[in-house]
Amino acid sequence: MTPNGKLRLGVNIDHVATLRNARGTVWPDPLRAALLAEAAGADGITAHLREDRRHIRDADIEALMAGIRVPLNFECAATAEMQAIILRHRPHAVCLVPEKREERTTEGGLDVAGDDNRLADYVAPLREAGCRVSMFISHDPRQIEASARIGAAVVELHTGLYSELHAEGRSDAAEAELASLRKGAAFAHALGLEVHAGHGLTYDNVAPGAAIPQVMELNIGHFLIGESVFRGLGDAIEEMRRLMDEARG
Ligand code: PXP
């Protein structure tokens, strides 16, 4: 069965914190951005607490947990430090991602298949705490199958490669990558996983991903924060919402 219903938009506010930290001041404030995003129609707020705290910091997570009404999707690496933070705050959702200190952004998907025993143990207490746990993975069926096996409720399919190919004008390769994302979404859904997608999405490339019927949520950050410099955050988000709804038909 194909799920229907409105496609959710999760707005990632990490780069509001990047801008704040560039000057070591207290503005722009990520919580203020989250509240504006909420008012503009975001269905959730995503924040990635990195090991090196390069953008979001611990105090931001506390402020978001206390201040927003929509669910918080807490993104992090599967480390002991992060597990303790999750269990303290009990956010609605947790998205586990691979993390390398030297990378500029989350470069690849998590290797769930290669680390399944550890991840199963890692995820169990989070589930018991009531968090919906998501694995940020590629569309590789092995990774999807392993995510279901270790007890994840959700997979977020990495759209970074598709976005890159699209931006480079390599339309055949982008189309092939999209076909794999569609297959992956259908496979994950058939295994009982909720399907999300994200990374590198923009006004120009969002439509095909938004049109994949099994995808229930898109998580979008960097483009929206950049676009907000020109048109304001609320307006930037409303336009993304409109394009998503239009693609969904
Ligand atoms: N989803 C996940 C799991 C991510 O790590 C990121 C980047 O932080 C995003 C979505 C959003 O990607 P972007 O900032 O390129 O829109």
What pLDDT is attached to residue 101? 67
249/244 Cα distance (integer angstroms): 9
Test site for ligand 1: of 12, 74, 107, 133, most ligand atoms within 8 A of the Cβ: 12
Evaluate whether residue 42 is within a structural domain: yes
Name the helix (H) or strand (E) containing 70. Answer: none
Structure tokens given for 111: 């290797």
Full residue range of the structural domain in which residue 207 is found? 8-244
Cα–Cα distance, 17 to 55 (Å, whole number): 5
Whether 76 is covered by a domain: the verdict is yes
Is 2 a domain residue?
Answer: no
Residue 85, pLDDT score: 98
For 107, how many CA atoms within 13 A lie in the half-sphere containing its CB? 6
Question: What separation in Å is there between the alpha carbon of 132 and the centre of ligand 1?
Answer: 18
pLDDT at 2: 41
Pocket of ligand 1 (CB under 6 A): 12, 14, 48, 75, 95, 97, 105-106, 136, 156, 198-201, 219-223
pTM: 0.96
Specify whether 196 is catalytic: no
Q: Domain with 214 in it: what CATH number?
A: 3.20.20.70
* Whether the bond into 28 is cis, omega within 30 of 0: yes
pLDDT at residue 249, rounded to an integer: 85
User: Catalytic annotation on 89?
Assistant: no
| Residue at 1 is within a domain | no
- Report the C-alpha gap between 27 and 132 in whole angstroms: 31
Q: Residue 46: inside a domain, yes or no? A: yes
Show pLDDT as tens, one digit a residue, over the chain (249 residues).
344 568 999 999 999 999 999 999 999 999 999 999 999 999 999 999 999 999 999 999 999 999 999 999 999 999 999 999 999 999 999 999 998 766 776 677 999 999 999 999 999 999 999 999 999 999 999 999 999 999 999 999 999 999 999 999 999 999 999 999 999 999 999 999 999 999 999 999 999 999 999 999 999 999 999 999 999 999 999 999 999 999 998
Q: Give the total residue count for the chain.
A: 249
Our answer to whether residue 139 is catalytic in this structure is no
Note the helical H segments in the chain: 14-23, 30-39, 58-67, 80-89, 116-128, 141-149, 160-167, 171-190, 206-210, 222-231, 233-248
Under a CB-based contact definition with an 8 Å cutoff, are residues 191 and 153 in contact? no
For the chain, the domain total comes to 1
Helices marked H in 152-249: 160-167, 171-190, 206-210, 222-231, 233-248
Of 48, 89, 139, 158, the catalytic one is 48
DSSP 3-state percent helix, strand, coil across the chain (nearest 5): 50, 15, 35
Q: Supply 190's token pair.
A: 């058939």
In a domain, 3, yes or no: no
Does residue 249 form part of some domain?
Answer: no
What the block records as the tokens of 114 is 């290669």
Residue 159 lies in a domain: yes
Per-residue pLDDT, 54: 94
